[in-house]
């Protein structure tokens, strides 16, 4: 059970995840406007997303180390400062270069907030970690759904993208002021540098997690970044029309996270991810093949995206007993790196072979994620069986 004193912490975590979703998901609806305002093509948009991912990747890695060294509280504080400053700069940015730098800083702040959240949940929840972790990321889905729909509506009604970023800065400042008075458990602070880098990177499962997370994050983040652009360029949807399908994707994504924890607790961490990612891949491919009339199928695939990230992150603390925060940082960093590389590939291929054909990269990434999750599942099951047999051998003489 979650202690009463930690309930306020959980509430603030929910708010922070909603804020992170707002920062992430305004980018998609902004794509057509940014292309026009700064006179950039799809490669230019890919560059903006690359800067976002680079900031997130670098500071996720740094954040994982900082969580071990100084604790989650300070990591959260650093993250808020980055977000507030960057969102304010975006409001005043007049050049594409300044816009890129501000996006880098914004996503650096998001990374610190998210790594703090993902390493804090296992500390404050004992009895129902899968449910709480998925509910935490459910709040991200709420923010994503709200942002996709209302950003589209606000843009359609004349509100500028700069004003939306200013609103994000104000909301972030309000949450930050309240958060300063919240006490955070600091169970991961280390008195000495006990991170065993060599042992971590000798473990093959770490690499399987990095690849599984990498391909998943590439699929999820690039759906958020390119789905609106896909509908705009291929089917000629305006901002308001495309926001309906984008909001539906994140709405089903949110519903999956609301209910997904219960499914995970019943089926098991890795197995539930394997089933979910496989179904998401199938729906994405069907929606692309059948065309505009079945856009809704791509949207409802969000239901099967939903549990992957939080459940994989939570399973890290079950599979790796040492340096959990550090490994979590490495795995999320790998996800950011893969997302950045796929985003660059999408930007280039959009201009070379067209937006429609390029969009198949997203279900391909999901399919590759499923393959590596299957490998993780086989390895963890084999290790569990060996440990069980070893325990029986140790106990048998005592029984005799």
What is the DSSP code string of 286-343? HHHHH-GGGHHHHHHTHHHHTTHHHHHHHHHHHH--SSHHHHHHHHHHHHHHHHHHHH
Question: Is the predicted pLDDT of residue 279 greater than 90, yes or no?
Answer: yes
pLDDT in tens, 198-247: 777 788 888 999 999 999 988 988 887 788 888 888 888 876 778 788 88
> What's the confidence (pLDDT) of residue 201?
79
230 touches 359 (CB < 8 A): yes
Q: Is the dihedral of CA 162, 163, 168, 169 positive or negative?
A: positive
Please state whether the predicted TM-score (pTM) of the whole model is above 0.75.
no
* Summary mean pLDDT of the chain: 83
Each domain of the chain, given as residue ranges in start order, spans 4-394
Provide CB contacts within 8 A for 351, sequence distance 6+. 41, 42, 43
Handedness of CA 253, 259, 261, 263 (dihedral sign): negative
Number of helices and strands in the chain (H, E): 17, 0
Q: How far apart are the first and last CA of the chain?
A: 39
Q: Do the Cβ atoms of 363 and 281 come closer than 8 Å?
A: yes
Is the distance from CB of 284 to CB of 237 less than 8 angstroms?
no
More confident residue, 257 or 187: 257
d(CA 392, CA 121): 33
Residue 197 in this model has a pLDDT that exceeds 80: no
Taking residues 174-184, what's their average pLDDT? 88
For residue 57, the Cα-to-chain-centroid distance in whole angstroms is 11
Tell the CATH topology of 4-394. Growth Hormone; Chain: A; (1.20.1250)
């Amino acid at each position: 059970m979650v202690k009463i004193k930690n309930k306020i912490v959980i509430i603030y975590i929910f708010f922070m995840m909603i804020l992170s979703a707002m920062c992430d998901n305004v980018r998609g609806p902004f794509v057509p406007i940014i292309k026009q305002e700064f006179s950039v093509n799809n490669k230019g948009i890919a560059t903006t997303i690359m800067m976002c991912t680079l900031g997130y990747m670098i500071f996720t890695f740094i954040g994982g180390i900082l969580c071990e060294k100084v604790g989650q509280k300070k990591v959260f504080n650093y993250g808020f400062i980055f977000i507030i400053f960057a969102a304010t700069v975006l409001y005043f940015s007049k050049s594409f270069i300044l816009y890129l730098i501000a996006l880098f800083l914004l996503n650096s702040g998001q990374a610190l907030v998210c790594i703090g959240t993902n390493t804090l949940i296992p500390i404050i929840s004992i009895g129902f970690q899968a449910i709480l972790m998925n509910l935490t990321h459910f709040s991200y889905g709420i923010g994503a759904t709200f942002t996709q729909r209302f950003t589209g509506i606000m843009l359609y009604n004349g509100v500028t993208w700069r004003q939306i970023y200013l609103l994000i800065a104000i909301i972030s400042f309000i949450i930050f002021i309240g958060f300063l008075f919240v006490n955070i458990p600091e169970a991961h602070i280390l008195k000495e540098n006990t991170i065993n880098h060599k042992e971590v990177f000798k473990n093959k499962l770490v690499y399987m997690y990095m690849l599984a997370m990498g391909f998943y994050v590439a699929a999820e983040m690039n759906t958020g970044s390119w789905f609106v652009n896909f509908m705009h360029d291929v089917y000629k949807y305006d901002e308001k029309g495309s926001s309906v399908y984008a909001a539906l994707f994140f709405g089903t994504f949110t519903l999956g996270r609301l209910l997904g924890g219960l499914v995970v607790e019943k089926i098991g961490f890795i197995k539930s991810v394997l089933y979910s990612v496989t179904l998401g891949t199938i729906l994405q491919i069907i929606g692309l093949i059948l065309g505009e009339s079945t856009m809704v199928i791509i949207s409802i695939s969000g239901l099967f995206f939903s549990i992957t990230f939080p459940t994989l992150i939570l399973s890290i603390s079950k599979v790796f007993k040492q340096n959990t925060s550090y490994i979590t940082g490495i795995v999320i960093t790998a996800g950011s790196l893969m997302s950045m590389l796929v985003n660059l590939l999408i930007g280039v291929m959009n201009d070379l072979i067209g937006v429609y054909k390029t969009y198949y990269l997203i279900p391909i990434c999901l399919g590759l994620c499923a393959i590596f999750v299957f490998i993780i599942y086989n390895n963890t099951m084999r290790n569990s069986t060996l440990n069980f047999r070893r325990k029986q051998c140790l106990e048998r003489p005592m029984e005799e």
